């Protein structure tokens, strides 16, 4: 059963004439007759009484309301898809890691709102793994996350690299580690650490670095907000390894201190992820372009690229 068969049937039922139906559909009368006949063959039922005024049979009466609903739904779907591809998307849902939500997205969201004022924005701060899951489940359109090749290598995903940044040490202003300009990794093992909760890419990144070095990470507390990290760390001897962009406010806080680590410099790679079908939709493409432009302007140490190759080694 094909749509053109249903449309021909509906046109004949509406006009009471094969000739008038052909004119309505913009085809020949023989085409309409052939479409209706093929539909009758598939259903094994006569749908019209062919007389001076064409009338529906009992079978035609049964079929008519269903065909009306099918054609109505098809036209509605076609309009909605046309609107979608024309940039008339009703909302854009984004999942992003906390630091990107706080420091990178605000200017992007303002520009996007100027470009697409009719699109309702919905932004949720999530860990990288969770953000990628809700993207795969179709609950969001875009995820801005820490790259995890195990999850982002899916051929259905569109991945846009944004920037790389170093991971640095956050501590209280009077912490013993403030004596170092750059902190040796073996010193980090001496102090209890606050880490992100399970499912956050940063927790995995830090744990893998300690494993590569053959050292033990003293993870004593799990949190999931930057404010909580700052509040806990400033109280005592706890430390935290966090990405540079998450430490912007901490640098201006006199009760906190931030230090880089010695080689190997641990870095995280931030990417934008969506699906290959979504990236063709104009508002999503525009949002991705704005995030990419903002990512290109992210501030990282000028010699960072020279330190990336050192990540696999340990002091």
| pLDDT tens-digit series, residues 217-238 | 999 999 988 899 999 999 889 9
Q: Is the pLDDT of residue 306 over 60?
A: no
The pLDDT tens digits of the residues spanning 68-89 come to 999 889 888 888 777 777 666 7
Give the separation between CA 243 and CA 204, rounded to whole angstroms: 13
- Structure-model confidence comparison of residues 305 and 155, the more confident one: 155
Quick one: pLDDT at residue 300?
44
Instruction: Express the helix, strand and coil content of the chain in percent, nearest 5 each.
Output: 50, 20, 30
CA neighbor of 145 nearest in space, from 204, 208, 232:
204
Quote the pLDDT of residue 287.
Answer: 95
The answer to whether residue 312 scores a pLDDT higher than 50 is no
Question: Is 300 or 61 the better-scoring residue by pLDDT?
Answer: 61
Fold match between 91-163+268-312 and 165-267?
yes
pLDDT of residue 302: 36
Structure confidence at residue 279 as a pLDDT band (50, 70, 90): very high
Mean pLDDT of 151-179: 92
The widest CA-to-CA distance across the chain, in whole angstroms, is 101
Q: What topology is assigned to 165-267 in CATH?
A: D-Maltodextrin-Binding Protein; domain 2 (3.40.190)
CA dihedral angle for residue 132, residue 134, residue 139, residue 145, rounded to 10 degrees:
-30
Going by pLDDT thresholds of 50, 70 and 90, the confidence category of residue 142 is: very high
Condensed to tens digits (0 to 9), the pLDDT of residues 23-52 reads: 998 999 999 999 999 999 999 999 999 887
Q: Rounded distance, CA 84 to CA 178, Å?
A: 54
Q: Closest Cα partner for 140 from 150, 151, 130?
A: 130
pLDDT at 67: 92
Q: Is the pLDDT of residue 139 over 80?
A: yes
Residue boundaries of the structural domains of the chain: 3-85, 91-163+268-312, 165-267
Share of the chain above pLDDT 70, in %: 93
Instruction: Give me the mean pLDDT over the 135-154 stretch.
Output: 89
What is the reported pLDDT for 268?
Answer: 92
Fold designation for 91-163+268-312: D-Maltodextrin-Binding Protein; domain 2 (3.40.190)
pLDDT at 298: 57
Tell me how many helices (H) and strands (E) the chain has. 13, 11
C-beta separation of 120 from 90 below 8 A: yes
Between CA 183 and CA 155 the distance in angstroms is: 40
State the chain's mean pLDDT as an integer.
87
* pLDDT, average across residues 107-112: 93
Q: How high is the pLDDT of residue 259?
A: 96
CATH (residue range 3-85): 1.10.10.10
Alpha-carbon distance 271 to 261, whole Å?
Answer: 23
How does pLDDT run across 245-269, given as a tens digit for each residue? 899 889 999 999 999 999 889 999 9
Question: Is-contact 142 92, C-beta < 8 A?
Answer: yes
pLDDT tens-digit map of 182-203: 999 999 999 999 998 877 888 8
């Amino acid at each position: 059963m094909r749509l053109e068969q249903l449309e021909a049937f509906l046109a004949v039922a509406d006009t009471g004439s094969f000739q008038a139906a052909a004119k309505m559909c913009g085809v020949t009368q023989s085409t309409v007759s052939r479409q209706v006949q093929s539909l009758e063959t598939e259903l094994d039922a006569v749908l019209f009484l062919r007389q001076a005024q064409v009338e529906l049979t009992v079978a035609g009466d049964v079929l008519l309301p269903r065909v009306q609903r099918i054609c109505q739904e098809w036209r509605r779907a076609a309009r909605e898809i046309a609107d979608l591809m024309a940039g008339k998307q009703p909302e854009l849902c984004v999942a992003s890691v906390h630091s990107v939500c706080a420091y990178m997205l605000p200017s992007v969201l303002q520009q996007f709102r100027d470009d697409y004022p009719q699109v309702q924005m919905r932004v949720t701060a999530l860990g990288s793994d969770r953000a990628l899951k809700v993207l795969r489940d179709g609950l969001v359109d875009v995820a801005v996350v820490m790259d995890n090749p195990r999850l982002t290598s899916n051929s259905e995903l569109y991945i846009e690299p944004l920037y790389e940044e170093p991971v640095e040490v956050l501590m209280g202003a009077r912490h013993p580690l403030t004596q170092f300009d750059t902190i040796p990794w073996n010193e980090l093992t001496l102090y209890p650490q606050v880490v992100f909760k399970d499912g956050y890419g940063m927790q995995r990144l830090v744990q893998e670095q300690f494993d590569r070095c053959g050292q033990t990470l003293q993870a004593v507390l799990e949190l999931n907000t930057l404010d909580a990290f700052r509040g806990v760390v400033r109280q005592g001897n706890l430390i935290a390894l966090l990405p540079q962009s998450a430490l912007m406010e901490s640098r201006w806080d006199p009760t906190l201190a931030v230090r880089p680590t010695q080689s190997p410099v641990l870095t995280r790679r931030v990417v934008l992820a969506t699906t290959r079908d979504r990236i063709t939709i104009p508002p999503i493409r525009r949002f991705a372009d704005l995030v990419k432009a903002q990512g290109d302007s992210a501030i990282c140490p000028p010699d960072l690229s020279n330190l990336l190759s050192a990540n696999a080694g340990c002091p």
